[in-house]
């Protein structure tokens, strides 16, 4: 009876432990799923959605920084999505940053080279304003961790209207100046001044036209700036070891012959040096004999 009771109690404890573990795993999985969903939805915004039949002109820009599993693969996926939805890439800078490099000699002719590096890419893309929200949601599939997401919307309706009105005013002024030059311009100074005024008005008009075209382009195509990065990566590679300088030294016999040659060259140099001094040596010897013969007496 006691044995049966112990077995039953043990079985009950095991069932409770297994049930608790499964419940904890389910809670963990649910939390992870919620985190992924939160990161995916957090990147989107109503500010990125183009409203139909809107009279206002909006310039939309997005700035997003996030971590990915693999920068190269995510870059290709993002570029394909941009092309799919009618956009284009204006800038991309894919690079590896080396943080540390260690060389360990593992044999006489082999070295283990360990490199710690991280890969990052800065991308600037232009996308049709009607596809901005779609592309942002497509980019969200690559996110492993979101650092920040900034979406900015600028209303340029009044700015574009002001440029159009300025163009009309300049057109009227141009016609009046042209008529004045044709009908009343007699003196050369007056004509030159009027022509300069006309040229300035035309230039101002052209600047307004170009500015409006630039604003309209920014309205039609939204700009997204992306900063992608991944965790630090370690790469190990076995390479051939560089030989020491001693390995390239000649043997003892060759060094002995070279030393004899060098000594002989030194001896030749000394002999040549003294031969070059023969006038001084001759004068010294003559002076010595004169000193002994006359001065000493």
Nearest in space to 177 (alpha carbons), one of 207, 210, 209, 205: 205
* Tokens of residue 246, six digits: 């001693």
For residue 170, is pLDDT > 60?
A: yes
What are phi and psi for residue 279, nearest 5 degrees? Answer: -60, -40
Question: Is residue 130 situated within a structural domain?
Answer: yes
pLDDT in tens, 63-74: 999 999 999 999
Range of 177's domain?
A: 171-216
Output the pLDDT for position 28.
44
Q: Which two tokens stand for residue 20?
A: 């608790």
Residues 6+ apart with CB under 8 A from 92: 75, 79, 121, 122, 123, 124
Q: Are 70 and 177 in a shared domain?
A: no
In this predicted model, what pLDDT tens digit does every residue of 117-162 receive, in sequence order?
A: 999 999 999 999 888 888 999 899 999 999 999 989 888 777 877 7
Strands 221-229 and 88-105: unpaired
Return the top range by mean pLDDT from 108-117, 144-153, 283-292: 144-153
Last residue of some domain: 207, 240, 273? 240
Domains of the chain: total: 2
pLDDT tens for 46-63 read 555 556 656 778 889 999
Closest CA to 170 of 133, 210, 197: 197
Residues 93 and 44 in one domain: yes
C-alpha 165/C-alpha 171 separation (Å) is 10
Residues 73 and 203 in one domain: no
In a domain, 275, yes or no: no
Average pLDDT over residues 170-175: 65
Same domain as 189, residue 59: no
Q: What is the pLDDT of residue 142?
A: 92
């Amino acid at each position: 009876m006691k044995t049966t009771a112990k077995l039953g109690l043990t079985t009950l404890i095991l069932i409770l432990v297994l049930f608790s573990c499964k419940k904890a795993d389910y809670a963990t999985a649910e939390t992870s799923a919620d985190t992924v969903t939160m990161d995916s939805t957090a990147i989107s915004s109503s500010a990125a959605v183009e409203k139909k039949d809107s009279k206002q002109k909006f310039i939309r820009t997005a700035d997003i920084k996030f971590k990915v599993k693999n920068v190269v693969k995510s870059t290709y996926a993002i570029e394909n999505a941009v092309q799919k939805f009618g956009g284009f890439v204006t800038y991309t800078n894919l690079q590896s940053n080396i943080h540390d490099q260690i060389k360990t000699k593992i044999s006489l002719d082999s070295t283990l080279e360990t490199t710690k590096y991280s890969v990052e890419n800065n991308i600037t893309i232009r996308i049709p304003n009607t596809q901005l929200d779609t592309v942002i949601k497509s980019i969200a599939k690559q996110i492993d961790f979101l650092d920040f997401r900034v979406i900015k919307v600028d209303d340029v309706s009044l700015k574009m209207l002001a440029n159009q009105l300025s163009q009309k005013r300049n057109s009227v002024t141009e016609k009046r100046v042209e008529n004045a030059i044709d009908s009343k311009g007699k003196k050369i100074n007056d004509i030159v001044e009027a022509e300069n005024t006309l040229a300035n008005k035309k230039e101002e008009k052209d600047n307004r036209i170009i500015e409006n075209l630039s604003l309209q382009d920014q309205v039609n195509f939204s700009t997204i700036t992306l900063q992608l990065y991944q965790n630090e990566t370690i790469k190990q590679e076995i390479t051939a070891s560089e030989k020491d300088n001693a390995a390239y030294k000649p043997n003892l016999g060759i060094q002995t012959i070279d030393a004899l040659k060098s000594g002989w060259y030194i001896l030749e140099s000394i002999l040549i040096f003294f031969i070059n001094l023969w006038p001084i040596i001759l004068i010294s010897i003559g002076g010595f004999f004169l000193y002994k013969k006359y001065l000493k007496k």
